[in-house]
Structure 1
Amino acid sequence: MSTHKLQLLVTSDIHGYIMPTAYRGMNEPLGLAQLATKIEVLRSNYPTILIDNGDLIQGSPLTYFKQAYRPLESNPIIKATNELKYDAAIFGNHEFNYGRENLERIIEQSDYPWLSCNIRNDDGNAWVKPYEIFIVDGVRIGVIGVTTHFITIWEDPAHLTGLQIDDALASVSYWLEVMKEQEKVHVSVISYHGGFSHSLETGELEESDSGENQGYQMLQQLDFDILITGHQHREISSKAYGKSIVQPGSRAVKVGQIMIDITLENDEVIFIHHEPTLISLDEHDQLHPKVVASVSTLHEETEQWLDEPIATVHGNMLYENAMDVRIHKHPYVQFLQELQMDVTGTTISCTSLFHDQPGGFKPIVTMRDIVTNYIYPNTLKVLAVTGEQLMLALEQCASYFTLENDQIAVNPSFLYPKAQPYNYDMWEGIYYTMDISKPIGSRIVQATINELPIKPMKTFHVVMNNYRATGAGNFPYFASCPVISDLQIDMTEVIATYLREHPVIHAHVEQNWDIIK
């Protein structure tokens, strides 16, 4: 009989944040360079497996600069994870944003395996390993990798050429049985780049049961020990159905830890206990010198690039309170709408504020202003949308709000289980009024286009980002709309190009919508 104490350490949704900055011109408590020090201290205590659960290589200004200006150079994010001797990585949906060819280079540069049980070559054969077996202090730990299959909804099909992406739950169910039968593992781990549609405490549905986040169903239906999750950027250390669960937020602010105590006799498990927790960065964590060295040159180049002046603003295009912008139209939103309509030749547009931080453009606009405001790698699509679908979309947007003590507030369904500021759209080219005192679904009390009521069967050309065009965010009818045009250029590049062509912009607002209560 032998007893063993070991740990799993988990990162997820790092999104290319290595140095302790969100590139807003200040240092912040985030980034893998600082978390790496914490990881190495933890790793020194017990035998360890270190796993990244996806969305590693995309999402920061550094990764944007790398892809735009240094696409063929070795990826510094992979250099950093190689320095830390990661044991495995799982594909996040954003791993595919730069295309399969780029991702194949990433896999080749990595000193660790990338795992996926539900992404296959078109011929049905495995693209990468579905799982990996790690022998840690004599304990056989099986780790299965799986990614939300909603990649196919969000991603440019050209980026998935030659790949077939299967249902996450069905795939992991199959491979879990294969692994347990053939590998005789002592500990079974599912590392899922996805999250939860149901409450872990009550089992109640908390978001659309679309199949995007199947973590709860995995807990409920499958027999395994530990579930690593991500994608939703939540901070979770919990237990349900006898399984330990972690989800360590985003941008490397925390590391997930699952401690495992296990007793073996004749290679059989006679006792196992596992306990999840999240460990945060603190002020005493120093930057890891090797991780810093792996990214320092690109980081310095990125910082210089971010501060290059592009355009000048006449008037005020800054805001402090994002909620105010969503209730009272702001010049920054006006700018985005006019830009989207200008580059696509349309007269109806919708856009969001993607985060809840202060934002907008300073008097001298730089790339830093662009990438810290427009934080997603969106492109633009023009859809043929019926009047009926427009009205459904306006009502969906109106559901973002609620009344609390007679004050307009955010509907909790847009805050939990994760904040979704990007799923509230503001519209241009439509004159409309929302009455938040009315029930959801009947809040649009007035809506016209060119001073005429919106006819349900009439078709309108509308520009929106590619995420919304897939129907994501509870706009399912957009997924069936004919695509009139598809501008496959990253929006940050579109904005930068537009500003270089219009180096002086004027802050103004044309009021076309109101919110009443």
Structure 2
Amino acid sequence: MEVKILATSDMHGYVEPTNYAEKNSDLPFGTEKVATLIKEIRQQAEGPVVLIENGDFIQGSPLSYYLAKNQRVGELTQVINALQYDVGVLGNHEFNYGLDYLKAAIASYNHPVLAANILDKTGQPAFGKAYELIKKDGLTIAILGLVTQYIPHWEQPATVKELTFKSIVETAKEYVPKLRAQADLVVVAYHGGFEKDLVTGEPTELLTGENEGYQLLQEVSGIDALVTGHQHREIATHINGVPVIQPGYRGSHIGEIILQVAQTAEGFKVSETQAAIHSVEGVAVAAEIRELIAPIAEEVEVWLDQPVGKVQGSMEITNPMAARIHEHPYIEFINRVQMAASGAKISGTSLFNNEGKGFGAQITMRDVITNYIYPNTLAVLKVSGADLRAALEQTANYLTLVDGEVVFNPDFIEPKPQYYNYDMYEGIDYVIDLTKPAFERITKLEFEGRAVESTDELEIVINQYRAVGGGNYAMFEAGKIIREIQIDMTELIANYLKEHPVIQAEANQNFTVLV
């Protein structure tokens, strides 16, 4: 008997094949295309098919942001319901809009939602269930749902204060033997990825516990198939004989694991396995999904086209790397918004990816939300001069020299680009000298015209993700937060533009990168 495990992950609210930079796009991703491909695979299947939604669906696109802003999550999750998943798994970004919104999303799904390693005060799974037993064609298939344990390092402390996030390895050691006794097949669906090279076993990142997929397959036996996500990678392989998939980002791919199962005197046994990912490039959109989302999508497009301000000069980003090396007017503008909203005299922000185009002469909500892509709020921290210097050393490490040219450090591009972890500051004057050894590159650091001493106390404003140490900024933590601005940055930007309808494109070049 052939059993197919299909999985999507990290679709991030991208239902239509657009990145919202312009209208009427037909890009190679989106739930509408995923739906078509799933339907085709189901129709061609010769045995049971299990469909898993592996997390990070309700956050990430302008569509999902708009619906969250208006507390209308059911209009987004109806899309997932139409695809008839067997189970879903929580992702880390499911927490971004708070627990009430998350709980509303879970309640709106027509399939079980799993998260075995997120526990409430009683030690029980806090959301949904730990696992699901699915019976198809005489088989019992167990799906164990796991989520990256690193969520407390990204979320507002109030959101996670009563929750315990356990290691997925520890959790799997508890559950997999139990599930082996109850089921013919055991599938682990993990919203997380791999911390080590899949071939050599060498670490590919700091071993923080954010990703534990490699360790899981070294220490836990009895897993027939592993679905992963979170890193937005495209993976179809075997590790220690276990088929593994990770299906990209925004609905660019569907992951497929095929298990050939034979009945023996001892029960069903897996005789052969395959792992594959299928691109949706060239796939037509599913008309029924497009019809379902069309009214909301049009509403979002009208909202995105609202004018919110004008620019004198140029805030357009034509070269993302150049904008990281020489202060760009868009970056200075974002820092100025953060300083105005918080009252802090020092601000740090990032150019999150290489897709943002900055602002043209006329700014619309589309420009705001396609450049500032995360639902960040702000936090003001009281830090020492030593903390600030350490943060700048950390950020300097995201740059490196190759043949005398400044490039983004390849260590932080593969397996997942981390452009969002390189920060640029306003309110201080500093120099990064890339000819110096790592963590000795800040050769100048001044605030208000004098050198910053290690014992100085300073207030800085950064986004909530960074404020609790996100991006391995260990010098920042929740205990150093002295106040928060509980308004989403996209709203702060729009509000700033209402107060300053015409802004100047300018940059004071307060930082320098030496080569």
TM-score (norm 1): 0.96
Offset from partner CA, 1:460-482 (integer Å, 9 cap, x none): 00000111111121211101652
CA contact (8 A) 1:321 1:358 kept: no
Aligned to 2:106: 107
- Measure the CA separation in 1 of the matches of 2:97 and 2:270: 45
Aligned to 1:62: 63
Q: 1:9 aligns with which of 6, 9, 21?
A: 6
Shift of 1:65: 0.9
Shift of 1:193: 0.6
Aligned to 2:316: 318
Offset from partner CA, 1:236-276 (integer Å, 9 cap, x none): 11111111111111100100011111111235234422111
Aligned to 1:343: 341
Aligned to 1:43: 42
Residue 393 of structure 2 aligns with an amino acid whose one-letter code is: E
Q: 2:357 aligns with which of 356, 359, 378?
A: 359
- Measure the CA separation in 2 of the matches of 1:498 and 1:23: 22
- Measure the CA separation in 2 of the matches of 1:164 and 1:297: 39
1:131-142 aligned within 5 A: 131-142=131-142
- Measure the CA separation in 2 of the matches of 1:74 and 1:373: 23
Q: Residues 480, 112 of structure 1: CA spacing in aligned structure 2 closer, same or farther, 3 A cutoff? A: closer
Aligned to 2:234: 235
Matched-pair identity in %: 40
Query: Which region of structure 1 is more displaced relative to structure 2, 478-487 or 386-395?
Result: 478-487
- Measure the CA separation in 1 of the matches of 2:508 and 2:293: 44
Residue 330 of structure 1 aligns with an amino acid whose one-letter code is: H
Aligned to 1:412: 410
Residue 349 of structure 1 aligns with an amino acid whose one-letter code is: S
1:479-490 aligned within 5 A: 479=477, 482-490=480-488
- Measure the CA separation in 2 of the matches of 1:162 and 1:470: 17
For 1:204, what is the secondary structure of its paired residue? Answer: coil
For 2:2, what is the secondary structure of its paired residue? Answer: strand
For 1:260, what is the secondary structure of its paired residue? Answer: strand
Shift of 1:511: 1.2
1:14-413 aligned within 5 A: 14-26=11-23, 27=25, 28-46=27-45, 47-69=48-70, 71=71, 73=72, 75-127=74-126, 128-160=128-160, 163-181=163-181, 183=182, 185-223=183-221, 224-266=223-265, 268-283=267-282, 285-413=283-411
- Measure the CA separation in 1 of the matches of 2:512 and 2:371: 24
- Measure the CA separation in 2 of the matches of 1:154 and 1:439: 29
Offset from partner CA, 1:314-371 (integer Å, 9 cap, x none): 1100011110100111100110111111111111111000001241112111110011
- Measure the CA separation in 2 of the matches of 1:112 and 1:165: 23
- Measure the CA separation in 1 of the matches of 2:356 and 2:81: 35
- Measure the CA separation in 2 of the matches of 1:456 and 1:446: 13
Shift of 1:170: 1.3
- Measure the CA separation in 2 of the matches of 1:301 and 1:160: 33
Query: Which region of structure 1 is more displaced relative to structure 2, 449-458 or 96-105?
Result: 96-105
CA contact (8 A) 2:67 2:76 kept: no
Q: 1:451 aligns with which of 449, 452, 459?
A: 449
TM-score (norm 2): 0.96
CA contact (8 A) 1:384 1:481 kept: no
- Measure the CA separation in 2 of the matches of 1:488 and 1:179: 42
Q: Residues 227, 504 of structure 1: CA spacing in aligned structure 2 closer, same or farther, 3 A cutoff? A: same
- Measure the CA separation in 1 of the matches of 2:142 and 2:263: 16
Shift of 1:58: 0.9
Shift of 1:164: 3.4
Query: Which region of structure 1 is more displaced relative to structure 2, 309-318 or 107-116?
Result: 107-116
- Measure the CA separation in 2 of the matches of 1:163 and 1:445: 42
CA contact (8 A) 2:348 2:461 kept: yes
Aligned residues: 509
For 1:476, what is the secondary structure of its paired residue? Answer: coil
CA contact (8 A) 1:238 1:276 kept: yes
For 1:463, what is the secondary structure of its paired residue? Answer: strand
For 1:169, what is the secondary structure of its paired residue? Answer: helix
Is 1:473 aligned to residue 471 of structure 2? Answer: yes
CA contact (8 A) 1:100 1:161 kept: no
CA contact (8 A) 1:9 1:255 kept: yes
Query: Which region of structure 1 is more displaced relative to structure 2, 442-451 or 157-166?
Result: 157-166
State the Cα RMSD in Å: 1.4
CA contact (8 A) 2:155 2:468 kept: no
Q: Residues 207, 482 of structure 1: CA spacing in aligned structure 2 closer, same or farther, 3 A cutoff? A: same
Runs (5+) with no aligned partner, structure 1: none
For 2:203, what is the secondary structure of its paired residue? Answer: coil
CA contact (8 A) 1:80 1:290 kept: no
- Measure the CA separation in 2 of the matches of 1:311 and 1:452: 36
Runs (5+) with no aligned partner, structure 2: none
For 2:430, what is the secondary structure of its paired residue? Answer: strand
- Measure the CA separation in 1 of the matches of 2:356 and 2:495: 24
- Measure the CA separation in 2 of the matches of 1:165 and 1:358: 33
For 2:336, what is the secondary structure of its paired residue? Answer: helix
For 1:439, what is the secondary structure of its paired residue? Answer: coil
- Measure the CA separation in 2 of the matches of 1:453 and 1:497: 34
Shift of 1:448: 1.3
Aligned to 1:441: 439
Query: Which region of structure 1 is more displaced relative to structure 2, 92-101 or 505-514?
Result: 92-101
Aligned to 1:425: 423
Residue 492 of structure 2 aligns with an amino acid whose one-letter code is: V
Shift of 1:162: 5.1
Query: Which region of structure 1 is more displaced relative to structure 2, 306-315 or 259-268?
Result: 259-268
CA contact (8 A) 1:17 1:251 kept: yes
CA contact (8 A) 1:380 1:465 kept: yes
For 1:416, what is the secondary structure of its paired residue? Answer: coil
Shift of 1:163: 3.8
Residue 450 of structure 1 aligns with an amino acid whose one-letter code is: E
Aligned to 2:462: 464
CA contact (8 A) 2:5 2:51 kept: yes
Query: Which region of structure 1 is more displaced relative to structure 2, 23-32 or 118-127?
Result: 118-127
Q: Residues 189, 301 of structure 1: CA spacing in aligned structure 2 closer, same or farther, 3 A cutoff? A: same
CA contact (8 A) 1:30 1:281 kept: yes
For 1:135, what is the secondary structure of its paired residue? Answer: strand
- Measure the CA separation in 2 of the matches of 1:407 and 1:22: 31
Shift of 1:217: 0.8
Offset from partner CA, 1:431-489 (integer Å, 9 cap, x none): 11111122111111222112211110111000001111111212111016521111111
Shift of 1:160: 3.9
